[in-house]
Every structure is written in structure tokens, then in C-alpha cells.
Amino acid sequence: AKQQHRGSSQYFSPEMGIDARERFKLLKGLRAGFEENRLFVVYQPQMDLSSGRAIGAEALLRWRTEDGKFVPPDQFIPLAEQSGLIISIGEFVLRTACHQLKRMLEQGHADFRMCINISLAQFRHPGFMNVLSLALRDAGVEGRNIELEITESMAMGDTELVMHLLADIKRSGVTVAIDDFGTGFSSLSHLRQLDVDRLKIDRAFVREAQSSSAGSTIAQMVINLGRGLGLTVIAEGIETEEQRQQLLALGCHEGQGYLFARPMQAEMLERWMSDGQP
Ligand code: C2E
Ligand code: CA
Ligand code: CA
Ligand code: CA
């Protein structure tokens, strides 16, 4: 528990702008919400930017409170991390997403890739590999259709442990993407040592790329860096057709964003995948 606390404390910062009492109330609500099934998972399609076909989806957690309001994950996930609740919530997301993946495969979307966000505390929890294997087995899906998204800062700390974890994950066939890439301070040599499959370019770069030539130079560098390391690059937060075209021109061939689809509930995703595809 000590390690968990240490690991997650960096995610909690006064930036959240709520005091201890409010935090306590929110956490209490979150616990109750989780127990009473008010947490659910939505899915945002990920696209092949040139063909316009969906290649998979990112699972994103939602919390609808009793009075029908939504608390954004940016607010409640740090709390869940800090309290340790993320271990069970994270397992719920993993299991739900694996189950949904099974449905997508059954509906004929072969090679569908389900991307799942993993928190630092969850990743470092001793039971993580076991939880992952059981989730795969129980849903009846293979590792190769699953991708875990870990943030750049997570991948950078405690190299030994991270390398071992990544090796275990790889053996299960599951792939790994570095999320929010470009926002941290990874050294290139460290990045090269990490056995990951994909870099997910933070949406700040997608936005900047269009607004200035310096921005587009930086986006180009981030994309080249990923490709130079032999990784696929995916962009998030694509909102305009211009951004789609620019990313393609810069050599980034995968992406997600409001231009294509917002995160949606499972049944919607199933419908969207069967009607909305070119
Ligand atoms: P993220 O992993 O970087 O997820 C991408 C966020 O960008 C999502 O916000 C998504 O709804 C939003 N987004 C997608 N397309 C666009 C776009 O075109 N424009 C803009 N402006 N935004 C777009 P969301 O769902 O609010 O999630 C926020 C963060 O909460 C996520 O950032 C992730 O760090 C965390 N999160 C969400 N679900 C989970 C989860 O199941 N586990 C963990 N550990 N973290 C999660
Ligand atoms: Ca993500
Ligand atoms: Ca991201
Ligand atoms: Ca993020």
C-alpha cells in the first residue's frame, strides 16, 4: 500500500482546485457510484486516416452521479488513484472493455483493437498481470486485440520494473502505447530502450500543428521521432479535416477525434461500426 501511495501521489495536485473536504465528499460519492453501477465505459473509434475506416476504439470511463450529472474523469481518476480505488475500478474497465471487444469480434470486425487506459498505481500493482490475463481469458479474447495506454511519465520512472512489466505484457500478446506523447520529458535513449508499439501524440500538438509553422515543425519532429524508433504513431484530438490532412502529410496514419466520432456507449459503437463504415 505504501508503494501504491507513493506511486500515485504525483497525480494528485492542488491544481484540481478542490479542498480536502470536497475531495472526501467526491471520493465517497465515487465509491458509492462504483458500487451502485453508475460507472460505465464509452468508446471512441480510432481511424485509419487515409481510408477512413475504423481500426478500433479507446475505452473511456464515465461516472454519472445520482442526480444525472457527469463528473469528468480528469477530476475523479486522480482521486481514485490516490485512494487505491483505481485498482478495482481499473479492473472493471479492463473487464468491460475486453467483453466489448469480444462482441466487436463476434460482429465481424476482425482485428478490432481495443485500447485501454492504465493508471500508474494499477500498472505497478503486484496483481496486474494476473488481472490482465484473467480479463482476457474470461472474455475469451486474445492479447493481440488489446492495447494498453500508459503515459509517458509512467514509462519513465523505475526503469527496471517498467521493463519487466512491458516484457510480461508483450508475452501475453497485448501491445502498449505511450499516451500523451511529447508532453513529458523522456530522454531519447530511454525511449529507445522501452519495448512499446505505438506513440500517441497529445492533442496539444495536433492543435498547434495547424496554428503556427513552429507548431507544425514540432509535430513533424514528434512524428519523425516515433517513426525513427520503428513505432506507429497515432494522433488524438483531431477535430478538423485540415488536421487530418496535415497529419497524413506529416506521416501519421492513425488517429481519433471529434471529426470522426465522439466517445459513445457500447450499443452505439456497435451500430456505428456496422452502418458508418465506408
Ligand atoms: P486521454 O487518455 O488522453 O483521453 C483522451 C481524451 O480526449 C478523452 O477525454 C476524450 O474524450 C477526449 N477527446 C477525444 N477526441 C477529442 C477531440 O477531438 N477534441 C477534444 N478536445 N477532446 C477529445 P475524457 O474521456 O474526458 O478523459 C480524460 C482523461 O481521463 C483521459 O485522457 C485519461 O487520462 C483519463 N481516463 C479516462 N478513462 C480512463 C480509464 O478508464 N482509466 C484511466 N486510468 N484513465 C482514464
Ligand atoms: Ca488515452
Ligand atoms: Ca492522451
Ligand atoms: Ca491525458
Dist. CA 56 → ligand 2 center (Å): 13
Judged on CB neighbours under 10 Å (0-12, 13-18, 19+), 216 is middle
- Residues of the chain whose pLDDT is less than 50? 1-11
Q: How far apart are CA 48 and CA 255, in angstroms?
A: 7
Dist. CA 47 → ligand 1 center (Å): 16
If one residue of 16, 100, 116, 117 were mutated to test the ligand 1 pocket, choosing by the most ligand atoms within 8 A of its CB, it would be: 117
- φ/ψ (deg, to 5) at 200: -110, 110
Query: CA dist 125 to 31, 75, 104, 120, 142, Å?
Result: 20, 22, 29, 8, 22
pLDDT attached to residue 275: 85
For ligand 1, atom 32, the nearest C-alpha belongs to: 74
Give the H/E segment covering residue 55.
Answer: strand 54-64
pLDDT attached to residue 1: 37
Instruction: For cell 474523469, name the residue.
Output: 73
119 lines ligand 1 (CB under 6 A): yes
93 lines ligand 1 (CB under 6 A): yes
Dist. CA 125 → ligand 3 center (Å): 22
Cβ atoms of 133 and 155 within 8 Å: the answer is no
202 lines ligand 1 (CB under 6 A): no
Task: State the first-to-last Cα distance of the chain, in angstroms, to the nearest integer.
Answer: 49
236 lines ligand 1 (CB under 6 A): yes
pLDDT attached to residue 14: 54
pLDDT attached to residue 6: 45
pLDDT attached to residue 142: 97
pLDDT attached to residue 185: 65
Q: From the alpha carbon of 256, which atom of ligand 1 is closest?
A: 15
